[in-house]
Structure formats: C-alpha cells, structure tokens
Amino acid sequence: MYDHSGLTAEEVELLPSEEDVRLYSERGWYLSEKLLTDAEVDTLTDASERYYAGQRDRELPKRPDRLADWTPADGDVQRNNDYIHYQDETMRKILRKPIIGAVAARLAQTPSIRVFQATLIYKPPIAEEKSNIVSWHFDKYFWPTCSSDEMLTAFIPFHDCTEESGTITMVNGSHRWRHRHGAARPVGDPRDVGRDYLLNGDAERNGAVVEKVPVHIPKGHMTFHHCLLYHGSGANRSPRPRRAISFHLQDGTNAYRDHTLSDGRQEPYKHDFLVRRTPAGQPDYSDPEFCPVLWPVREGDGPEASFTGE
C-alpha cells in the first residue's frame, strides 16, 4: 500500500498504475499524466527568461569544476545551467511539487526521493547548430560517485515537445544492458555526437535490438527515465526554442562512494565541492540545501519550504 499523504485526491489519480510501473521496469522510461498546470509551466518559462537576464535568488557558494553555466557571451548555442533548483526560488517551488516526487518514488519502487540536481536547458531553433544534438548517453555514466543504480531523471518541457523540436528519445530496455563497451569515452560523453555505431555495438553485446522512441510530451506532462537508460535528442527544427528542465532524482539509499580512475586519480562529481560533509568526512548527498527530500512530504518539506532546508 502506498502512502498518499501530501497529495490531493485528484493527484492520487495521476500516479502510475501497477501496469505503468511494470512497463517502466521493462522499458526504462515513463510518460506521466499532466502533473503541472498550464499556469505552472508558463511560470517556469517566465522564470527562465529572468534567469537568463541575470536574476539569481541566491548564488552558489563556490563554483565547481565542470559546472554547466551558460551566459549570453556563449552565444546562440544550446544553453545548460546547473543547480537551477538552488539558484531560482520560483522554479524550485514548482519542482518541489509533491506529485513529482511521488511519481518518481512509485516508479523506482522506493519509499523516498531526494533531489540530485536540476539543469535548465534551452535548445535554440537552429537545426544546423551542433550543440543542439545530444549524443546517446545514460545518466549514471556522469554520476560515478553515486552508490545507487536506481536513480532517475524527470525531463520537464515548458511546452508541447515533439520530434520536430528535438524531444527526448529513449532506447527501449537499454537500462537492462549489462555489457557496455570499454572505450576511453563510453557512449555517454556529449562529445560523441551521433555515435550510433557504439550504441549498436552495445546492443549486439547484449543480444538486444536498438529500439528508439522519440517521446511526444504534451505541455504539463513529463517523462521519467532510469539512470542506466540510453537516451538522446535531435536538432530543434521547429521555429521556437525548446525549453526544459532535466530534473535528476535519487532514491533514499543513494550515497557518495569513492571513484578512483585507473591512474589513481579521483573523479569527483560537482556536488562534492558544494554539499556538506558526513561525520566520516565524505560528501553528503542528503544535504538539504542541495539535495532536499521531495517524497515523502514532511512538515516544512513542501514547495513552500524555506531555502534553509528541512
């Protein structure tokens, strides 16, 4: 029996069914019901424009390596801006709407969900712009210091998102592939645009067929995908920018783990420079400032919670 505390009766009806959960386990992704109102989505768009114009409700205390932080000086390329849930209060409140965490918890079959990271994305309507094409990748590749293999990502567009606008494309069932090639940069690196031959090779190693599914996401809906699922997106061929947030989520069991490269170097995640430390001195991926609890809802945890955390 699932705990529905913190949800309205109408929101309970929006939760994934048992069949939806089964299909998520099989395919590795799920298209939600309408979880955000049109007004909430329009508010995200307006807030993103203020953000691009330079508004910040609070600044990151320090700048980690490999931070995605587009500025106007970067030009008309795909924009990626990390930690939007920390820097912008308006977007933070909408992202912490309880139904989002509840859906993620149901799909991951876990009692609790925390924020991991949130990136604001703007794909300009320039079909020939190379940065518009996101290579096949799986998110866990970028999170080597995470102990859990059950993390997931909600992709939240600010409008109807279609194949023409470069919507997210899933590779069905690829989260179950256990044999992945050993190249220096595996499928998953943004520099590897269009490396279909590597994706196909991984499928062959696993006795699988590559089944690509471009997902049409109506306004107010969102997709959720498993952290090991291959996915990517094509160019924006529409006349309008494609706007979205990539909302990375962690199940309650996730924690920091050492990740040492073959040459002995540590490979930290950007969080490791920002979050508080555990009593053992390791980065704390449950830091309420950067990784607040989304589900279950506790007093002070909802979208109206203050920046100081729970």
pLDDT band per the 50, 70, 90 thresholds, residue 2: low
Closest by CA to 152, choosing from 282, 21, 301, is: 21
**Tally of domains in the chain:** 1
pLDDT band per the 50, 70, 90 thresholds, residue 130: confident
Give the model confidence (pLDDT) of 3-19 as tens digits: 788 899 999 999 999 99
* pLDDT at position 310 over 60: no
Q: What is the CATH number of the domain that holds 244?
A: 2.60.120.620
Give the model confidence (pLDDT) of 235-251 as tens digits: 999 999 999 999 999 99
- Is 306 contained in some domain? no
> Please, which residues have CB within 8 angstroms of residue 113's CB and are 6 or more apart in sequence?
101, 104, 105, 249, 250, 251, 252, 293, 294, 295
**Could you list the residue range(s) of the whole structural domain that residue 18 is in?**
9-295
**How high is the pLDDT of residue 239?**
96
Give the model confidence (pLDDT) of 36-47 as tens digits: 999 999 999 999
- Is 302 contained in some domain? no
- Is 279 contained in some domain? yes
Q: Model pTM?
A: 0.92
pLDDT band per the 50, 70, 90 thresholds, residue 308: very low
- Is 196 contained in some domain? yes
- Is 309 contained in some domain? no
- More confident position, 302 or 212: 212
pLDDT band per the 50, 70, 90 thresholds, residue 193: very low
Q: What are phi and psi of 41, to 5 degrees?
A: -65, -40
Helix/strand/coil for 5: coil
